[in-house]
Amino acid sequence: MTWLPHLPEGDTDWDRLAALCPEAFSALSGVVAAAWDDTDPVLLELARLRIATLLGYTAELARRSERATDAGLTEAKVADLAAWPTSPTFTERERACLSLAEQFVVDPNGVTDAQVAEVTEHLGARGCYAFVEAVSVLETFQRACLTLGIKEVPV
């Protein structure tokens, strides 16, 4: 539960904080929704879950993107996610994206030309750009929610 005091009434932490700054929260939700519109949902969901693991955001690990599951993401793959570098469950395309996403979270200055080139090879220039933008959105969003102590966020 969020540690912010004197919030308006609401069913969830998100609702209560959103009531405080409705326009800002609506715009923030819009950016997160847009991230899913411009990117492959399975790739982005895998990246989102790795971001949650790296940031220690356990509540985010418990939920799933419906878009990703509808697009074929399985729980078996999610269960194997920590072993993505070596697990045969993951394709080269997914490995390239997860490698870039992890480095982005740990230290963006450490992202190499080779990592970007590999993602570009699989997704194309436009796809790589959109993937990096989407990862940036979800990482920022998770950090903001963690900072504010928000556990339940809109799906």
Partner 1 sequence: MKPRIPLTPEAVNEWGLADTAGMAPTIAGARQQLRRVAFRMRTVDPVTTELVRIRNARYQNCFF
**116 scored as a contact of partner 1 (CB under 8 A):** yes
**5 scored as a contact of partner 1 (CB under 8 A):** no
Q: How far apart are CA 56 and CA 68, in angstroms?
A: 21
Q: Please provide the size of the chain in residues.
A: 155
Binding mask 12-31 for partner 1 (x = CB under 8 A): ---------x-xx-xxx-xx
**109 scored as a contact of partner 1 (CB under 8 A):** yes
**47 scored as a contact of partner 1 (CB under 8 A):** no
Nearer to partner 1, 31 or 61 (CB): 31
Place of tokens 């418990």: 62
The tokens describing 106, both together, are 């740990």
**129 scored as a contact of partner 1 (CB under 8 A):** yes
The tokens describing 137, both together, are 């959105």
The answer to whether residues 36 and 60 touch, using CB atoms and an 8 Å cutoff, is: no
Q: How many residues bind to partner 1 according to rule CB under 8 A?
A: 27
